[in-house]
Amino acid sequence: MSIDHQARERLAQQRQHAEHLQDTMLERAEAELAADGGSQIAEQAREALTEQRLHEQQLQENMLERAEEEVGST
């Protein structure tokens, strides 16, 4: 068996293994969602949105402060 053939077989095995892992993770996630009723995920989504809004507000305040400093220094 040539090295190229062995390499192709090994890549195919790795790809199959990665697909199997991905399928397994998807099945677990679907099972958790079904068992949890989605309430935990919804709560996590709300928390993430709140954090994102706070971050955006902080960025906006920082940009405003910088603009005020630049205007004040000219």
Within 8 A by CB and 6+ apart from 41, the residues are 33
For the entire predicted model, the pTM comes to: 0.46
| Residue in 31, 34, 12 with CA at minimum distance from that of residue 23 | 31
The number of beta carbons lying within 10 Å of the beta carbon of residue 41 is 13
pLDDT digits (tens, 9 = 90+) for 25-60: 888 888 877 776 667 778 888 899 999 999 999 999
- Of the two residues 16 and 42, the one the predictor is more confident about is 16
- 74 pLDDT band (50/70/90 cuts)? low
Domains of the chain by residue range: 1-37, 38-74
